[in-house]
Amino acid sequence: MKVQTSIVIVTWNSEGHLQQCLESIGNQTYQDYEVIIVDNNSRNDVTALIYGTFPHLSVIRNKENLGFCTACNQGIRASRGEFILILNPDVVLEPDCVRELVTFLSNDARYGSVGGKLLLAINGEKSTSIDSTGLFLGRDFRARDRGNLQQDRGQYNRSGGVFAVCGAAVLFRRDALEGAKVGDEYFDEDFFAYYDDLDLGWRMRLFGYENGYTPRAIAYHVRGGSGGGAKFFQKSRALQRITLRNRYLMLVKNLSIADLFCFCPFVLFTEIVLLLYICFRAPSLFGVYAESCRNLKKYLRKRAVVQSLRVCTNKDIRAWIIADHG
């Protein structure tokens, strides 16, 4: 039976949050959906929770942790919906959230993806602190969640475009995902996890799809409840390594030479700060540079595909980078 929307949830040791997430899906005013859970070999009893409490869901069980990106791609390939909602297990949706996201994409064909107003859940309680109202690029090409840690006073109550959407809760139009994939990958599986949402959003924009935001779709996110979420200098060494590697992979694939020169002073400053941190606090991260060099040919092949298919101009990308997103 065909459904309009497929909800894909990737789990890894997520039973502490998953039940609330699934209950919030069941309470949606919008009901034309299927739920696909891709479990990355959780140590804990995620599958027992799913089968015991929510036996009607589809479950893909991996024998090892294949990473967020590969698992997302598995879920997308198994899905049947016209729209695909990628949802973290540590997100709780307000009852009208999915309906508002679907309505946004249904009403404006320019947009390939849309996110809502993500607020923080703190100590298990809903708060008025903003987690994300969209992703933007700084002049140093670091990702920023618009409004992060600000109090929600209605300052982001206008719908419109954003550079990319936070991957904790993002609805895609299927035809946009198909149009933006490279090879058979929607999310780049070399990323494993982290920076993957910005990479895909940037690529979609390069390929001519807009990314949107609607404040009418509200959800609550336990930032870090899916295994990450801290600022770079607060992450574990393993997560720092993945994050730093993925930053360079994303830039190699998506960044034009012209834009690199345009923002060179900001990028250079950031790289100097990173190098000083690595030299004095985290010398093990020097391995990221060696790994990136070893994989450079593969990264450049992906870059060649992305740049050959792009329709968005450097000027358009620069306009997003220098815009005031406060």
Burial class (CB in 10 A: 0-12, 13-18, 19+), 283: exposed
Cβ pair 59, 187 in contact under 8 A: no
In CATH terms, the superfamily for domain 5-221 is Spore Coat Polysaccharide Biosynthesis Protein SpsA; Chain A (3.90.550.10)
Query: Phi and psi of 116, rounded to 5°?
Result: -110, -165
The pLDDT of residue 159 is: 97
pLDDT digits (tens, 9 = 90+) for 118-176: 999 998 899 999 999 999 999 999 889 999 999 999 999 999 999 999 999 999 999 99
Query: Phi and psi of 51, rounded to 5°?
Result: -70, -30
**Portion of the chain with pLDDT greater than 90, in percent:** 81
The residue to which tokens 């409004």 are assigned: 147
Q: How far apart are CA 156 and CA 153, in angstroms?
A: 8
Which two tokens mark 17?
């949050």
Domain ranges of the chain: 5-221, 232-322
The pLDDT of residue 225 is: 47
Residue 324: helix, strand or coil by DSSP? coil
Written as tens digits, the pLDDT of the chain (326 aa) is 678 999 999 999 888 889 999 999 999 999 999 999 999 998 766 767 776 677 678 999 999 999 999 999 999 999 999 999 999 999 999 999 999 999 999 999 999 999 999 999 998 899 999 999 999 999 999 889 999 999 999 999 999 999 999 999 999 999 999 999 999 999 999 998 889 999 999 999 999 999 999 999 999 999 764 444 557 888 889 889 999 999 999 999 999 999 999 999 999 999 999 999 999 999 999 999 999 999 999 999 999 999 999 999 999 999 998 876 65
Q: How far apart are CA 297 and CA 307, in angstroms?
A: 15
The pLDDT of residue 76 is: 98
